[in-house]
A = this chain, B = another copy of it.
Amino acid sequence: MTASDPTAFTSQLRNLRQTRRFSDRAVPDDVLNELLEVARWSGSSKNTQPWHFIVVTNSELRKQIAEAGPFAGFLESAPVVIVLVMAGSNPRSEPYDEGRVSERLMLAADAHGLGAGTGWFAPDDGGERRVKELLGVPDGMVIRSALGVGYPDATDPRPRGVSGGRKPLSEIVSRERYGG
């Protein structure tokens, strides 16, 4: 579907950054619902939709989830945590599909002035098992990541939109052949 202003649209894509510090301001239900609809309509390998989203707002539960992963601590301060539970039936395509749907959720949050960031859990005893226990997720399913969503902390001194550099196109693009 051609966008009404394609360049404004791609500019929105280019300017997405992860947010990991949040204010206390609540996420409105209608916005959260819109994010979940974006997730629902995500494409996936053979349209398997190999996902389930657990929306966690309980602060004690968020704290326990945040403690389960070495790269998940910031989730404690996110008013909404969306845990991505993957089906666990296709280890090749599911992480790719998980990345696709996560990117869309982050883009949708950003468009509404929210921020979002990815927290990670290491496999099995590295934290995944703990999160599955906390949330009653069946064996066989996979939890690799969760998104923290909320309004960015305006007092965060790090400016949004300029985090990290990127390699130049000349380094990451070839024509017809690697290095060409």
Residues of A bordering B, CB below 8 Å:
1-4, 6-10, 12-18, 34-41, 43, 47, 49, 51-58, 61, 85, 92-93, 95-100, 102-104, 106-108, 110-113, 120, 123, 135-138, 144-145, 160-161, 163-164, 166-169, 172-180
A137: chain B residues within 8 A (beta carbon)? 178
**Chief secondary structure at chain A's binding surface:** mixed
Given contacts A1-B12, A52-B172, contact A138 B96 (CB under 8 A): no
For the A-B complex with A4-B8, A40-B169, A92-B95 known, give 9 more contacts whose Cβ atoms are closer than 8 Å: A1-B110, A13-B41, A36-B173, A49-B167, A54-B176, A96-B102, A98-B99, A99-B100, A99-B102
Instruction: Tell me the smallest distance from the CB of A50 to a CB of chain B, in Å.
Output: 10
A12: chain B residues within 8 A (beta carbon)? 1, 3, 9
Given contacts A52-B178, A99-B96, A135-B178, contact A14 B37 (CB under 8 A): yes
